[in-house]
Amino acid sequence: MSGEGIGFGKTIIFNEHFVVYGIPAIVSAIGKYTIARIESLETNGWKIIDKRKATPTYKENKIEQQKDSINRIINKMNLDLSKKGVEITLEGNLFATSGIGASAASCVAIARAFSEHFNLNLSNNEINDIAYEGEKGYHGTPSGIDNTASTFGGLIWFEKKETNLMDKIDLMNPVEIVIGSTGKVADTAKAVEGVRERKEKNPEKYQEIFNRAENIAYLAKDAFQDEDYRELGKLMNENHKLLQQVEVSTRELDFLVKLARDQGAFGAKLTGGGLGGNIIALTPGRDLQDDVANAIEKEGFQTLKTMIGVRRSYE
């Protein structure tokens, strides 16, 4: 008996970090994914074979978090592996690196694979809840935005509440982006904790930043619906400035953001937890996408060319 599941990567386009405090964020699934396969073992417990391509040291640095995450998923699903265990294999074309939802994609894929393996027929909402529990192993107090994008796909408006608010934003035409990697593995839990500490020390300054971040989200939603990519780019640039102000950007991230803008990207900003990880550049049209990606690669950094707003159903 075996099971298989898929979870998609994501990029946060607006308001990573601010989303933890209930500020709206906009996230998109991307066309790269992780696949989990589960096979029965004659022994008890579980073991993992991680075949994902990854940033150097990413998998090694995350191994303890990964174990915690899988145990949380198993507990949340009330699975009994005391007599017959499982072997979990991870693969797929989503590069395991910081900032593109690699951990969430693996949590969603594993939850779906367990659902199939044990004939549980879980709904997307149930898969999303289980993946959120798994994300706690990696992020401490995750917002829930990554696993939501990974589970449901598309372009999503997200607000963290007692019951998270999630709305699809329909784009008539998908748009090209470039994701550029610093090659540095980010510790999202550490970044989130740092913002929390600084916010507590300087509540007035942070409230001002948070208010502007909220305003940007609503303007960006309108710009997406109007397909006004020039306006979206400006808002992304401003959002990056706010992320610099809460001290989650780095020299490498700022370098890549400036490089992308200098090459003609409509806008660019860090994406994900910061303190390493990736940037996202808005590059409508294949030619501009190629120009920006080539410039980043010329400087020795890796890129991913993909699209946001692609409509998909992962039922």
> Known catalytic residues?
146
Nearest to 148 by CA among 163, 129, 162: 129
Chain centroid to Cα 154, Å, comes to: 13
Burial letters for 232-250: b for 16+ Cβ neighbours within 10 Å, e otherwise? bbbbbbbbbebbbbbebbb
Contact call for residues 61 and 191 (beta carbons, < 8 A): no
What DSSP string describes 253-295? HHHHHHHHHHTT-SEEEEESS-SSSEEEEE--SHHHHHHHHHH
Structure tokens at 69: 């995450």
Q: Can you tell me the distance from the alpha carbon of 104 to that of 164, in angstroms, rounded to the nearest whole number?
A: 16
SS3 of residue 118 by DSSP: coil
The CA-based dihedral angle spanning residues 178, 184, 187, 188, taken in that order and rounded to the nearest 10 degrees: -10
Q: Can you tell me the distance from the alpha carbon of 1 to that of 96, in angstroms, rounded to the nearest whole number?
A: 27
Contact call for residues 190 and 138 (beta carbons, < 8 A): no
SS3 of residue 230 by DSSP: helix
